[in-house]
């Protein structure tokens, strides 16, 4: 069911939502959090809502989408309510604000928050430099960005580093979860030798390449080099040790990687690219600060050896 409201208020939207739920026999008791999506443009809304609807099947939630249309013109709030059908285990409220109504997005959201439920903020395209100081970010326990979708991903990643606060995370981090697990497992096997150097190869502007390298640099404390390749994702990680090199390589366009270790047979491992929905599901599993991400972003990123063309301003 879709209900459209023109020139309304957040309080009126909340009242109408309650009536829609009652009429449709839909309960909000199972919602475990409120997910606030701060969209930079109308183009990103459908993509973000589809990913959030999919994630809601594991994390039932109320989804509130903020879509500012600019500060010019008269103050007005239009809304759309979606329940049932394709909305998964969620209910979706899209708020389109213009004029002065767009200047204080937190006041639009507060009347619609679920009582006693955590708030998670998500910027699916261009994130603010400091998510924790954004009006919506300030009310959220967790703040999720996706700097990969921004106009300048590499520079944006370094802006997030400078503006980091506990509770922040980025989907570039969850995109490398499978890589981190496989590399950690490989290092847990004998011989337990120290790593002396690390090389991470992948796409020039892909933040996940730099986040994986930053994690390795911070955890291992050794020189870590980022090698740029003409591709769309991470292609290879090499860990140098006295007995030889551990190499995890995934060919561009493939979902299978080859793990090579000295003295052992090569191993083929399933390593697919992760969707936005998969990454969002992972990030919604925890509401406490991700300290490992924080250290990788703030300490590891600064320690990387990157191509001169990619150096942060």
Query: In total, how many domains does the chain have?
Result: 2
Per-residue pLDDT band for 307 (boundaries 50, 70, 90) equals: low
210 and 166 within one domain: no
201 and 123 within one domain: no
Half-sphere exposure of 32 (CA within 13 A, CB side): 11
Can you give the pLDDT at residue 26? 58
Last residue of one domain, picked from the residues 129, 145, 170: 170
Evaluated on CA atoms 143, 148, 149, 153, the torsion sign reads positive
159 and 46 within one domain: yes
Q: Which element (helix H / strand E) includes 231?
A: none
Last residue of one domain, picked from the residues 138, 170, 202: 170
131 and 20 within one domain: yes
Evaluated on CA atoms 121, 126, 128, 129, the torsion sign reads positive
128 and 23 within one domain: yes
Mean pLDDT, residues 82-106:
84
Is the pLDDT at 25 greater than 90? The verdict is no
Can you give the pLDDT at residue 77? 94
295 and 270 within one domain: yes
186 and 237 within one domain: yes
Last residue of one domain, picked from the residues 170, 186, 212: 170
> Could you give the CA distance from residue 121 to residue 166 in angstroms, rounded to a whole number?
14
Q: Give the CA dihedral 259, 263, 264, 269, nearest 10 degrees.
A: 0
Per-residue pLDDT band for 204 (boundaries 50, 70, 90) equals: confident
Strand partners, 2: 82
207 and 303 within one domain: yes
> Could you give the CA distance from residue 61 to residue 90 in angstroms, rounded to a whole number?
5
207 and 165 within one domain: no
131 and 45 within one domain: yes
112 and 88 within one domain: yes
Can you give the pLDDT at residue 313? 47
pLDDT in tens, 135-176: 999 999 999 999 999 999 999 999 999 999 999 999 999 999
Can you give the pLDDT at residue 29? 55
- pLDDT: is 120 or 102 the higher one? 120
- Summary mean pLDDT of the chain: 92
Look up the pTM and report it: 0.93
88 and 229 within one domain: no
Q: Which element (helix H / strand E) includes 281?
A: helix 276-283
Could you list the residue range(s) of the whole structural domain that residue 22 is in?
2-170
> Could you give the CA distance from residue 144 to residue 127 in angstroms, rounded to a whole number?
9
By percentage, how much of the chain surpasses pLDDT 70? Answer: 93
- CB neighbours of residue 7 within 10 Å: 11
> Could you give the CA distance from residue 218 to residue 122 in angstroms, rounded to a whole number?
26
Q: Give the residue among 220, 223, 225, 222 at the shortest CA–CA distance from 236.
A: 225
Mean pLDDT, residues 252-261:
96
């Amino acid at each position: 069911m879709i209900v459209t409201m023109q020139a309304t208020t957040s309080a009126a939207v909340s009242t109408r939502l309650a009536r829609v739920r009652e009429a449709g026999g839909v309960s909000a008791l199972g919602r475990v959090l409120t997910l606030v999506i701060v969209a930079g443009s109308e183009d990103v809304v459908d993509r973000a809502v589809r990913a959030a609807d999919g994630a809601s099947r594991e994390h039932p939630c109320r989804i509130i989408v903020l879509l500012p249309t600019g500060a010019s013109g008269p103050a007005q709030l239009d809304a759309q309510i979606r329940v049932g059908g394709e909305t998964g285990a969620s209910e979706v409220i899209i708020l389109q604000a213009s004029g002065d109504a767009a200047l204080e997005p937190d006041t639009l959201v507060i009347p619609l928050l679920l009582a006693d439920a955590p708030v998670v903020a998500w910027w699916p395209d261009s994130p603010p430099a400091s998510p924790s100081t954004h009006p919506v970010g300030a009310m959220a326990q967790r703040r999720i960005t996706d700097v990969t979708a921004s106009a300048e991903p590499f520079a944006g990643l370094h802006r997030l580093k400078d503006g980091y606060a506990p509770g922040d995370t980025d989907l570039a981090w969850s995109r490398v979860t499978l890589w981190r697990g496989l590399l950690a497992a490989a290092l847990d096997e004998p011989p337990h030798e120290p790593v002396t150097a690390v090389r991470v190869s992948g796409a020039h502007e892909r933040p996940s390449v730099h986040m994986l390298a930053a994690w390795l640099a911070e955890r291992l404390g050794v020189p870590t080099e980022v090698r740029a390749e003409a591709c769309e994702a991470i292609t290879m990680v090499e860990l140098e040790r006295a007995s030889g090199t551990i190499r995890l390589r995934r060919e561009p366009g493939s979902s299978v990687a080859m793990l090579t270790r000295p003295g052992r047979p090569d191993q083929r491992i399933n390593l697919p690219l992760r969707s936005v929905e998969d990454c969002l599901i992972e990030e919604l599993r925890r509401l406490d600060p991700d300290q490992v991400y924080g250290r990788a972003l703030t300490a590891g990123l600064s320690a990387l050896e990157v191509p001169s063309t990619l150096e942060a301003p």
